[in-house]
Structure 1
Amino acid sequence: MAEIFCTRCGTRMPDGVSECPSCHNPIQHYGTGGPQQAANPAPHAAYQNRYGQAPVPPGNGNHGNKNLLIIIIVALIAVTILLAVLVLQRCSGSENPPAVPADTSATAAKANKPDTVVKEVVVVKETAERVEVPTAPLQSGTIQAYDGFLNIRSRPSARSRIVDVYYNGNTIYYRRNGGSSWVKVYDSTGTRMIGYANSNYIY
């Protein structure tokens, strides 16, 4: 059976139909010979429909959409499997942390000499209680500073907090703090310590 093509959309159809099944364009039939061949030429690259495009056989676009859908589904499955593997690995790693080797040498030393360590600590405490540190005598002096005052600080350091201030001409009571230029400042009775001061400004 001969086939003809729609002059509007280029759809292939059997000879004898009255209209195109795609665009419903009326089909005109001619006698046998040249007129029918001229009215229904075979579609080629130059043959265009009303939209300015060459006719495309029906069904080709559907195959492309199906292939794209299959590729997307396969990619999603692969990503899901990869995420599941990563989650399982992280969970297994957190549940079973690597064992930390114990310090066998320190453990053995403690096991072998537990009593000796305790005795040494006791001896040190007893010795510290028996030692009597001689107290430096309480001295008094007068403040003579370039700025007109002397800061009393919480520690023997110029960066420590200021707890009191003595002015030039005030009497200050102090005790020597070893060989340091900082001395311990006391009240007049010598029983309550106030802080530390620089002895370079005490005369």
Structure 2
Amino acid sequence: MRTAAAPQFYETKKFKDKVKQAIVFIVVLAGSVIVNSLVAYAFAKIRFKGRNTLFIVVLSTMLIPGFVTLVPQYILFSKLGWVNTYLPLIVPAFLGSAFFIFLLRQFMMTIPNELIEAAVLDGANHIQIWWHIMLPLTKPALITVAIFSFNGAWNDLLGPLLYLNDESLYTLQIGLQTFKGTVQTQWHYLMAMSVMVLLPVVLLFFFFQKHFIEGSNIASGTKG
């Protein structure tokens, strides 16, 4: 466990490093929303052979514990030379999430097919339909996915702890651990920074809770 007697992590942290971390969270958020919504649109509104079978295969990946793929994933990223970079934290967001795909697909299934057919008659392709029709109509579900994605990336400790070795790359979650020394824990710093780390997630949910609840209810087939 990486520990330090003093909160040097926050004292020596440069502004540009904080900007890099903010960019990581933004990229993860954008990648998760874009990729999962595209896949969900394909499963919900595009008819192709084996669609339902492929959807079941995607859902079945939720049965695989994350720790099972941890070692192979680390070996892969190590071979690619991505260890001690932010890429192992960013790239998985662009590979899709079975849970997010399921959530968005269920929401998109409630959108009338007549809208898609009318857009096709007007000459729109699938990308245009996805961008101009599906995304605006699925805003509650997209906000739900965005909140979950941000919360997962923001609170991730295992990923940064596993892949980041340079102190200048440490995320806030690892930074919190620097207040826990071998002999003494600086509780006043730890509690203060814990509140600061928790605040963005609380504010995000506070401002978007209406859309979050609406998206969760419709995707789960309930109305509230």
Scaled to the shorter chain, the TM-score interval is under 0.3
Considering Cα pairs closer than 8 Å and 6+ residues apart, tell me whether 1 or 2 has the greater RCO. 2
> Scaled by the length of structure 1, what TM-score is found?
0.19
More helix by share: 2
> Scaled by the length of structure 2, what TM-score is found?
0.17
More strand by share: 1
